[in-house]
């Protein structure tokens, strides 16, 4: 057996566990999204999205790419866990304080002059400082391939959201304020599981690498990955930040529901992407990247098609009659999600091969395309315009990532997207195994 084939099961186990636990996220979303829709209404959902958007962007601004850098370096050199985690945590806390102060200065613009929204934005922003430390620990755990603890964190967050929002709705205390508290508090609570990162790391598992220091390589990779992360987060938060000024809070509420549904197929994709990055950073195998890209694209197509076909029968009963108008934008966003998958997976090749700057450049190009289309379409078409903006920008991202990554790892761009019969068989096997693992986790 070759060295590659010996390591292949490691990725398979990681992918299965991450896929299995990622099913918990959409399951919780299907429960909590209707609760929020009925409890807050379309306008309340829009205000909640606007309140959380700045803090989510802050999480990326203040990390300067250090979680990704920890994943990359600790996958290759686990012995340096303690000093790198300490440096990364200190840096993110310091930057988190700076960004929180900046958020306070921008409150009049971010809140549109609404004092209650300004208060909610500030609460969310301050509460994300401990979440920054959790992000650092999560990056380290991913690099060390501590998949069980990552799965446990997800389980705590998803179960906590269902219990908390259900209890608030049942007692009549579900408001935008309490929803903000749940959203920012649960990740911090669940992050306690990463205390395991503080344990003494192994000293005999390092790969032969050129880097000899810790701080320089850590921050160097992080900065190159960081501006791409900022662009990516800005992409995901453009609608909450700009839709109200360009359109209405009602349109933002419709778009929030549409994006909640259309993001469900991507949850599994992103989970597998994280495992692929960690394992790929330690053992660079080009065929693993291309095979995984095709498999996850196939899974996304099947899942999105199932949602699109059945959507007319359950969107109104689940979310309320006022969200019926979200049907069309949701279907368009499901199409956009399928287009994005090969781009997400191929970009992992750039990160694993130590070329995060190329990935970041692609995300910036995508952001420019998205912002241009958003400003042109949303004022005239509202939620529909935002949905078609995603189709345009996701197409740009996938074309860029598959071509550039193909050159870096030495494969044809078509190997990321051309699905064959063997891919169908492997996807079925992965889905069945993940489903069994997910049931086992829930029973435990």
Distance CA 229, CA 332 (A): 25
Lowest mean pLDDT segment, chosen from 72-81, 288-297, 428-437: 428-437
Distance CA 353, CA 285 (A): 10
Distance CA 17, CA 187 (A): 20
Report the chain's C-alpha Rg in angstroms.
21
Structural contact between residues 84 and 70, judged by C-beta atoms closer than 8 angstroms: yes
Exposed e or buried b per residue across 364-401, where buried means at least 16 C-beta atoms within 10 angstroms of its C-beta: bbbbebbbebbeebbeebbbbbbbbbbbbbbbbbbbbb
- Residue 340, pLDDT above cutoff 90: yes
pLDDT classification of 371: cutoffs 50, 70, 90: very high
Lowest mean pLDDT segment, chosen from 104-118, 173-187, 269-283, 325-339: 104-118
Residue 293 lies inside a defined structural domain of this protein = yes
For 218, the domain range is 6-443
Distance CA 14, CA 20 (A): 10
pLDDT value, residue 444: 57
* Averaged pLDDT, 48-64: 79
In this prediction, what percent of the chain has a pLDDT beyond 90?
23
pLDDT in tens, 384-402: 999 999 999 999 999 999 9
Residue 69 lies inside a defined structural domain of this protein = yes
Exposed e or buried b per residue across 47-81, where buried means at least 16 C-beta atoms within 10 angstroms of its C-beta: bbbbbbbbbbbbbbbbbbbbbbbbbbbbbbbbebb
* Averaged pLDDT, 402-430: 87
Distance CA 411, CA 287 (A): 8
Residue 96 lies inside a defined structural domain of this protein = yes
Helix, strand, or coil (residue 2): coil
Structural contact between residues 134 and 185, judged by C-beta atoms closer than 8 angstroms: no
pLDDT classification of 438: cutoffs 50, 70, 90: low
Residue 278 lies inside a defined structural domain of this protein = yes
pLDDT in tens, 88-135: 989 988 988 988 888 888 878 777 777 778 888 888 888 888 888 998
Q: How many domains does the chain have?
A: 1
pLDDT classification of 439: cutoffs 50, 70, 90: low
Residue 1 lies inside a defined structural domain of this protein = no
Distance CA 73, CA 278 (A): 9
pLDDT value, residue 435: 64
* Averaged pLDDT, 25-41: 79
């Amino acid at each position: 057996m070759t060295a590659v084939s010996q390591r292949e099961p490691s990725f398979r186990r990681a992918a299965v566990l991450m896929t299995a636990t990622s099913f918990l996220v959409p399951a919780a979303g299907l429960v909590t999204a209707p609760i929020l829709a009925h409890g807050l209404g379309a306008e309340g959902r829009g205000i909640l999205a606007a309140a959380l958007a700045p803090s989510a962007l802050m999480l990326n601004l203040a990390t300067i790419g250090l979680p990704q850098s920890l994943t990359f370096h600790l996958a290759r050199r686990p012995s340096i866990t303690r000093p790198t985690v300490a440096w990364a945590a200190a840096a993110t806390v310091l930057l988190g304080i700076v960004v929180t102060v900046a958020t306070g200065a921008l409150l009049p613009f971010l809140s549109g002059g609404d004092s209650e929204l300004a208060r909610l934005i500030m609460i969310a922003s301050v509460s994300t400082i401990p979440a920054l430390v959790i992000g650092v620990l999560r990056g380290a755990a991913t690099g060390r391939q501590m998949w069980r603890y990552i799965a446990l964190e997800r389980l705590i967050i998803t179960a906590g959201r269902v219990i908390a929002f259900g209890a608030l709705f049942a007692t009549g205390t579900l408001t935008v304020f309490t929803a903000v508290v749940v959203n920012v508090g649960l990740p911090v609570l669940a992050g306690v599981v990463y205390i395991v990162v503080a344990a003494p790391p192994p000293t005999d598992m390092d790969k032969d690498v050129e880097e000899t220091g810790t701080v320089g390589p850590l921050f160097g990779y992080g900065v190159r990955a960081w501006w791409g992360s900022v662009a990516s987060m800005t992409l995901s938060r453009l609608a909450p930040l700009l839709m109200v000024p360009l359109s209405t809070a009602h349109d933002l509420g419709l778009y929030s529901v549409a994006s909640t549904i259309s993001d469900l197929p991507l949850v599994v994709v992103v989970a597998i992407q994280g495992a692929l990055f960690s394992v790929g950073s330690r053992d660079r195998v080009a065929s693993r990247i291309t095979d995984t890209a095709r498999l996850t694209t196939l899974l996304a197509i099947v899942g999105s098609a199932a949602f699109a076909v059945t959507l007319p029968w359950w969107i109104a009963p689940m979310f309320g009659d006022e969200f019926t108008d979200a049907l069309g934008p949701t279907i368009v966003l499901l199409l956009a999600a399928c287009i994005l998958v090969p781009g997400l997976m191929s970009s992992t090749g750039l990160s694993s091969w130590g070329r995060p700057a190329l990935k970041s450049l692609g995300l910036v190009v995508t952001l420019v395309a998205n912002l241009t289309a958003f400003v042109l379409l949303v004022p005239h078409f509202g939620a529909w315009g935002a949905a078609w903006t995603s189709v345009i920008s996701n197409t740009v991202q996938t074309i860029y990532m598959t071509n550039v990554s193909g050159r870096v790892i030495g494969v044809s761009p078509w190997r990321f997207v051309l699905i064959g019969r063997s891919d169908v068989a492997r996807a079925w096997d992965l889905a069945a195994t993940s489903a069994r693992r997910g049931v086992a986790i829930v029973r435990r």
